[in-house]
A and B are shown apart, each in its own frame.
Chain A
């Protein structure tokens, strides 16, 4: 089975721009979660989608948004980029949501904001 794929892998943007990142989950997985990883803050949860519904949202400003499509693919959008948004954005998928369900991670999208 193919793993979680994320596109693009690398991205350079300037302050004030917006960006859209894409995540394709493992076939059959209905839950997709997004995380931001930075050296200072570590891994921080952004949001989780299950069957096109947002189930959880982390403590990030409204500039960060996401959605999930009927085929379980997910996108996240960051508007009005700030320098501090530079990070590795990781997507993870799982069969269902919650409890002991294992999340499988993609390779990430590295975003650099100049």
Chain B
């Protein structure tokens, strides 16, 4: 069965600094990793995903993620953080075949002005 690990419960970063939110996964087949963001009292919003091709994936709101197959990682990055980026970030992965999307525990990002 697939699994996702987000090793940091909380990440703090100063506004304007680069940010990284870490994610590693475990699948038995080909991985399909995703990032979602959740703002207070809201559902999840899709940020980006990796299917195939360039290992650096660009998504919404200036976020990008680097897919590393050998390290089974899909870290979320942004060159310059904004206070409005403060939210709960979820990494998720689906394995090949008829499998559900499995989520990590989430990482709370706090961007300080």
Contact = CB atoms under 8 A, between A and B. Distances in A.
Contact of B42 (A35, A43, A107): A107
Most chain A beta carbons < 10 A, residue from B34, B36, B45: B36
A55 B36 contact: no
Contacts of A106: 43
Contacts, number: 54
A98 B29 CA distance: 13
A90 B43 contact: yes
A35 B43 CA distance: 11
A60 B46 CA distance: 25
A56 B1 CA distance: 13
Interface in B50-107: 50-51, 90, 94, 96-106
A113 to B, nearest CB: 19
A25 interface: no
B45 A45 contact: no
A95 to B, nearest CB: 13
Q: Which of A4, A33, A58, A100 has the most CB of B within 10 A?
A: A100
B55 to A, nearest CB: 15
Given A99-B96, A100-B49, A100-B51, A45 B101 contact: yes
A102 B44 contact: no
A29 to B, nearest CB: 13
A92 B90 CA distance: 15
B46 A102 contact: yes
A42 B91 CA distance: 12
Contact of A102 (B34, B42, B99): B34
A10 to B, nearest CB: 10
